[in-house]
Amino acid sequence: MVDFPPRRKPSRKGSMADVPQDLLEQIKELERLFTVDQVKLKEVTEHFVKELEKGDLEGGSIPMNPTWVMGYPDGYETGTFLALDMGGTNLRVCEIILPEEKGEFEIIQSKYRMPEELKTGDSEELWEYIADCLQQFIEYHHELEDLEQMNSVNTKLPLGFTFSFPATQDFIDHGVLQRWTKGFDISGVEGKDVAPLFEAALEKRKLPIKLSALINDTTGTLIASHYTDDTMQIGCIFGTGCNAAYMETCGSVPKIAHCNLPTDMPIAINCEYGAFDNEHVVLPRTPFDVVIDNDSPRPGQQAFEKMIAGLYLGELFRLVLVDLHDNKCGLFEKQDISKLRKAYSLDASFLSFIEEDPFENLSETSELFAKELSIHASKPELELCRRLAELIGTRAARLSACGVAAICKKKSIEKCRVGADGSVFNKYPHFKARGAQALREILDWPQGKRDPVDIRAAEDGSGVGAALIAALTIKRVKAGNLAGIRNTVGMV
Kind plus residue range of the DSSP H or E element containing 22 = helix 21-34
pLDDT of residue 9: 54
- Is 387 catalytic? The answer is no
Please give the Cα distance from 84 to 134 (Å, whole number): 8
- Is 341 catalytic? The answer is no
* pLDDT tens, residue by residue, 111-143: 999 888 999 988 999 999 999 999 999 988 877
Please give the Cα distance from 324 to 389 (Å, whole number): 14
Residue 142, burial from CB neighbour count under 10 angstroms (0-12, 13-18, 19+): middle
Write the single-letter amino acid at 484. Answer: G
pLDDT of residue 396: 98
Q: What b/e readout covers 393-420, taking b as 16+ CB neighbours within 10 angstroms?
A: bbbbbbbbbbbbbbbbbbbebeebbbbb
> Angle at the Cα of 420 (from 349 to 271), degrees rounded to 5?
105
pLDDT of residue 357: 96
Q: Using 50, 70 and 90 to split pLDDT, how confident is the model at 144?
A: low
Q: Using 50, 70 and 90 to split pLDDT, how confident is the model at 373?
A: very high
3-state secondary structure of 106: strand
Please give the Cα distance from 407 to 180 (Å, whole number): 24
The mean of the pLDDT values for the chain is: 90
* pLDDT tens, residue by residue, 261-293: 999 999 999 999 999 999 999 999 999 999 999
Output the CA–CA distances (angstroms, integers) from residue 205 to 20, 127, 138, 451, in the order listed.
Answer: 65, 12, 12, 51
Contact 236, 271 (CB under 8 A): no
Please give the Cα distance from 66 to 76 (Å, whole number): 25
Asked whether the predicted pLDDT for residue 257 surpasses 70, the reply is yes
DSSP string computed for 310-355: HHHHHHHHHHHHHHIIIIIS-TTTTS--TTTTSTT---HHHHHHHH
DSSP string computed for 171-229: STT--EE----TT---TTTTTSBHHHHHHHHHHHTT--EEEEEEE-HHHHHHHHHHHH-
Given the residues 85, 173, 179, 421, the one annotated as active site: 179
- Say how far residue 385 (Cα) sits from the centre of its chain: 26
List 168's β-bridge partners, or say none: 176
86-90, 95-99, 258-262, 286-290: range with highest mean pLDDT: 286-290
Q: Which residues, 6 or more positions from 30, have their beta carbon under 8 angstroms from its beta carbon?
A: 320, 384, 387, 388, 391
Query: Which residue, among 65, 63, 68, has the nearest Cα to 487 in the 3D structure?
Result: 68
pLDDT of residue 5: 57
Query: Which residue, among 282, 254, 249, 278, has the nearest Cα to 178 in the 3D structure?
Result: 278
Asked whether the predicted pLDDT for residue 60 surpasses 90, the reply is no
Please give the Cα distance from 83 to 335 (Å, whole number): 49
Write the single-letter amino acid at 33. Answer: L
Contact 130, 84 (CB under 8 A): yes
- Is 252 catalytic? The answer is no
- The single-letter DSSP state of residue 377 is -
Given the residues 56, 85, 164, 366, the one annotated as active site: 164
User: Rounded to two decimals, what is the model's pTM?
Assistant: 0.88
3-state secondary structure of 97: strand
Q: Which residues, 6 or more positions from 462, have their beta carbon under 8 angstroms from its beta carbon?
A: 83, 85, 87, 92, 162, 164, 217, 220, 221
* pLDDT tens, residue by residue, 441-472: 999 998 888 999 999 999 788 889 999 999 99
Alpha-carbon torsion 152, 155, 158, 163, what sign? positive
Among the ranges given (51-60, 75-84, 224-233), the one the predictor scored with the smallest mean pLDDT: 51-60
Given the residues 56, 85, 193, 217, the one annotated as active site: 217
Please give the Cα distance from 201 to 132 (Å, whole number): 9
Strand extents, DSSP E, 400-483: 416-421, 453-457
Average pLDDT for residues 91-104, to the nearest whole number?
A: 90
Strand extents, DSSP E, 137-175: 157-163, 167-168
Please give the Cα distance from 256 to 93 (Å, whole number): 32
Please give the Cα distance from 102 to 144 (Å, whole number): 32
pLDDT of residue 4: 61
Question: Which of 388-391's residues contact partners 24+ apart within 8 Å by CB, and which partners?
Answer: 388/27, 388/30, 388/317, 388/320, 388/321, 389/317, 389/351, 389/354, 389/355, 390/355, 391/30, 391/31, 391/33, 391/34, 391/35
Contact 376, 337 (CB under 8 A): no
- Paired sense of beta strands 65-66 and 90-98, if any: unpaired
Q: Using 50, 70 and 90 to split pLDDT, how confident is the model at 15?
A: low
